[in-house]
Structure 1
Amino acid sequence: MSESPRTQAGPLRLLVVQPTPFCNLDCDYCYLPSRDDRSRLPLEILDAALERVLESPFFNGGFTLLWHAGEPLTMPIAFYDAATERIRLALERHGLSPSTIVQSLQTNAVVIDDAWCDCFERNDIHVGVSMDGPEALHDAHRRTRTGLPTHGAVMRGIAALQRRGIPFEVICVLTADALDQADALYDFFTAHGIGDVGFNMEETEGENLRSTLERPDGERRYSAFMERFWQRQRAEPGRLNLREFDGITSLACGESRMESTDMNTPFAIVNVDAKGNFTSFDPELLAVATADYGDFIFGNVLQGSLEASMHTDKFQRVWREIEAGVDLCRRDCAYFGLCGGGAGSNKYWEHGRFDCSVTEACRYRIQLVADVVLAGMEQELGLSA
């Protein structure tokens, strides 16, 4: 076997666990290939996943356990009650504080009601909601399996969270039809008391073979969208926090540079599916299979340690190529200090390989946003011409 890459592995910050691959929606931009698979995670596999993490050299204090990949709330409430007890017992066996693991989940919110709110409160589960803003934008892409709109159900779920005082963040996917509606999105979120938002660009990834943003005018329209959103946000301080702006401003105002991200650092993230298979790096790599690499499963939590998987040929190949791609970004990209080399999954889906540099995903997610934020900050400081 050739020499290992030089990147430091861990520490583990995020354990992504798939309670089920099944989703009750059929969003047209979803990358997941198995949304009709009704498999459910046995609690014994959760036990094994927790043990593999807590015994590993990558564990170094607290981390977040994120229920994700499929729709978590298609599992019954009783599952999360039982899972929380399993988490408590695992921490107790290792002599660790209950605060060591923070539970979180990402949901489409269509079934949230008071019973689910009771579950979130009882088990101290943090909530993220996936929704795309105003009704017309949201329902254009996020429909049920029978083609019905979902906006009304999502808003009922959000209202339940707000009525109970349960904090949540919204992830909104930006497609081409959203780029001319910055004011509509800003007005929608602020009018409905939604104060924490992150924008995910529609990506070419997995089952979504082509993003609607891949148009000749896509970057220009995206930049104009972000400029307008910046103007609206700065005109009303404190009403809406946008993840992208917060990330860039915190780095721009600090002295540190990112040298890597969790998504290109081995075992900073561990992703476990409902059968116990695990991978590292991007969660998006877990459910896909490719001609060149096969799947990206590095092992199974029922069969071996996380550390042992690092010595397999498959892991070494992926790690080596991801590191080579990070080196190219470090050498060639002026924005490297803002992103630390980006996500390997975007490089693979756009270029068919990991050992490459710039992607459309990083143009939209980092570079164009950074240009807008830095220009806006310069203008506010009176530094622009």
Structure 2
Amino acid sequence: MTERVRELVSEASPPAFGPVRLLVLQPTPFCNLDCDYCYLPNRDDRSRLPFEVLDAALARVLDSPYQDGGFNLLWHAGEPLTMPIAFYDAATARIQQALEHRGLPPHTITQSLQTNATVIDAAWCDCFERNGIHVGVSMDGPAFLHDAHRRTRTGRPTHAAVMRGIDWLQRRAIPFQVICVLTADALDHADALFDFFVAHGITDVGFNMEETEGENAASSLERPDGEGRYRAFLERFWQRSMADPDALRLREFEGITALACSDQRLAATDMNTPFVIVNVDARGNVSTFDPELLSVPTAEYGDFAFGNVLTASLEELAATPKFQRVHRAIHSGVERCRSGCAYFGLCGGGAGSNKYWEAGTFDCSETQACRYRIQLVADVVLAGMERELGLAA
């Protein structure tokens, strides 16, 4: 561990509840793919978000004491583009009506969605443009990696369809980000991933680790050699990035670099601070903390819905015994991290969902997810920065 990592352990005071920065809405639980590492249950459920639930969710957030300024509305948790284009046109109109009713400017709410991109065409690009919807694409790089895990419900590969969707976005000059899930299969292919993204003009990338979470009961990264292979993967990706720094932006490298080059420290994260993220499923059930907790049943807590936007305000949800129990456990786990982890200033105590799915409790500290997401990335990036600056021994 470098001394720079040790310096980053200091942090600011933890924040109070909120402010809301992300409203995650599930337009439908249904997904047209059957990715083998997906954490979500009920992906064949074709329920649709009623507009009365959308209106109620907007009202609960906009009228909440936890709302302070603008936030992003993310359509997620299912495949958003299995809903018709008309749904998003009508939703945008209702969002603007909600803002006008409260005298708030149109930019108070921005919209985004996370899609597998398999059905994107000219009509969808028109929809994104006229409704101001930012696009995130889930895809795993070259076909031999992507198609190993991201297939249709009948087992057909999806890479070609995804690339057609990306081509439409690029032809229309619609900016997009790619989230690439790294499984054990990918760890020997840093060059193939880097070359693929650069060759296809994909310049904004984030890596999500395959996680033990929800329906995905075990991660391929749990092998004994997983962390060593991932470190080597990151080191090679760092080398390629430094050799061609304008080729692409990697979210993980940029996040650690920004913290290392500033006085900013994390006291908590959006995913362990109540009501920074508000999650609402297609039936109006609402949770907070990280979105991965929504809609996933457990033996100990049932689900992690604290109420429904049709019947309760966010303040009322915060007063429920279930919320208070979960909040206490998450807070205790964060304090364990604060007191014992040299990476805390980079991490802010991690995500409760990772702790729960890996350890069976929120009240714990280090997880495999934080070793992959934070610790190994920090070690590689900070060592690389020291070499670049001529500070390495």
> What TM-score, normalized by structure 2, do the two folds share?
0.96
SS in 2 for 1:145: coil
SS in 1 for 2:279: strand
Aligned to 2:6: none
Aligned to 1:374: 382
- Structure 1 residues 45-67: Cα deviation after superposition (integer angstroms, max 9, x where no partner): 10000000000001000000000
Q: Which of 108, 111, 119 is the matching residue for 1:103?
A: 111
Aligned to 2:301: 293
Aligned to 2:3: none
Instruction: Map residues 1-385 of structure 1 onto 2, 5 A cutoff.
Output: 8-385=16-393
SS in 2 for 1:287: coil
- Deviation of 1:287 (Å): 1.0
- Deviation of 1:7 (Å): 5.8
1-structure distance, mates of 2:318, 2:24: 18
- Cα pair 2:15 2:267 within 8 Å, conserved: no
- Structure 1 residues 81-125: Cα deviation after superposition (integer angstroms, max 9, x where no partner): 000000000000110000000000000000000000000001000
RMSD across aligned C-alpha pairs, in angstroms? 0.7
* Distance of aligned partners of 1:253 and 1:12 in 2 relative to their CA distance in 1, 3 Å threshold: same
1 or 2 for the larger relative contact order (CA 8 Å, sep ≥6)? 2
Runs of 4+ aligned structure 1 residues displaced above 2 Å come to: none
Structure 2 gaps of 5+ residues are: 1-13
SS in 2 for 1:89: helix
- Structure 1 residues 302-352: Cα deviation after superposition (integer angstroms, max 9, x where no partner): 001011111111000000000000000000000000010000000000000
2-structure distance, mates of 1:378, 1:286: 41
Give the letter for the 2:258 counterpart. S
- Deviation of 1:238 (Å): 1.2
- Cα pair 2:41 2:296 within 8 Å, conserved: yes
- Cα pair 1:106 1:127 within 8 Å, conserved: yes
1-structure distance, mates of 2:91, 2:300: 37
1-structure distance, mates of 2:189, 2:116: 22
SS in 2 for 1:294: coil
Aligned to 1:3: none
Instruction: Calculate percent identity across the aligned residue pairs.
Output: 77
SS in 2 for 1:88: helix
- Cα pair 1:56 1:306 within 8 Å, conserved: yes
SS in 2 for 1:290: coil
1-structure distance, mates of 2:142, 2:29: 27
- Cα pair 1:131 1:173 within 8 Å, conserved: yes
SS in 1 for 2:188: coil
2-structure distance, mates of 1:111, 1:146: 16
- Cα pair 1:7 1:323 within 8 Å, conserved: no
